[in-house]
Amino acid sequence: MSTMQRTEDGSARVAVVIGGSGGIGSAVARRLAAQGMAVAVHYAGRAEQAEKVVDGITAAGGTAVALPGDVAEPDRMTALFDAVEQRFGGVDVVVNTAGIMLLSPLAEMSLDDFDRMHRVNVRGTFVVSQLAARRLRAGGALVNFSTSVTRLQTPGYAAYAATKGAVESMTLILARELRGRDVTVNVVAPGPTATPLFLDGKSEELIGRLASAAPLERLGTPEDIAESVAFLAGPGGRWVNGQVLYANGGIA
């Protein structure tokens, strides 16, 4: 483990990673733990994967716990934040990687699918951001997740990009609303990243074309994205606030 990041009272900083059982979320949880943070690994329906993330962190000498909850339900998320504060004494970093992506031309997408994405991506981000705004200690950081598709206008992504556009708007406004709190609020917007969420349903030919679109000529990895989060959540990112960081290898 790297040098411990500590709060003013000398205790280890505490991070909550929403969606910590997923591809990017698990990489973020491991990376923040490597910075010396105690990490709460949130999961919705994948308890086994979350426990594997926790086991990996603890095996490397870190501190982590897996906690469940529906990201769109305030009572469940409040209970999660309460549990983290009771166990670790407070919350210093909140990273919300939870999201779903359902693709279809706008004219063909069902309202049920649109509402499913809105519930997780928009309502879920609102619930988590509201709790982060109320609970983060001075020197803290909130990092929400968008997508580089908001700049690419890719057919089939209209509904998904619309939910992430909402995430960007509410996050950047929240950064201004927290004036005087010594809390940074930013968005990471990944490009094509080799996660199950991204790869599901795509042909090898399509994946190859997407990989070659960036000047670096490859897909991003969860670890690439985790490095961006670690920067924003760590001491080097304290002067970055109210921004969207496009972590996409130059695709847009």
User: Which residues are annotated as catalytic?
Assistant: 160
* Distance, CA of 94 to CA of 140 (rounded, Å): 8
Tokens 């998320």 -> residue: 77
Token representation of residue 134: 């109320």
From residue 188, give the alpha-carbon distance in Å to each of 61, 109, 130, 144: 28, 26, 18, 6
Are 17 and 40 a contacting pair, CB within 8 Å?
A: yes
Please give the structure tokens belonging to residue 182. 């010594």
How far apart are alpha carbons 146 and 144 in whole angstroms? Answer: 7
**CB neighbours (10 Å) of residue 170?**
18
Cα 66 to the center of its chain, rounded Å = 16
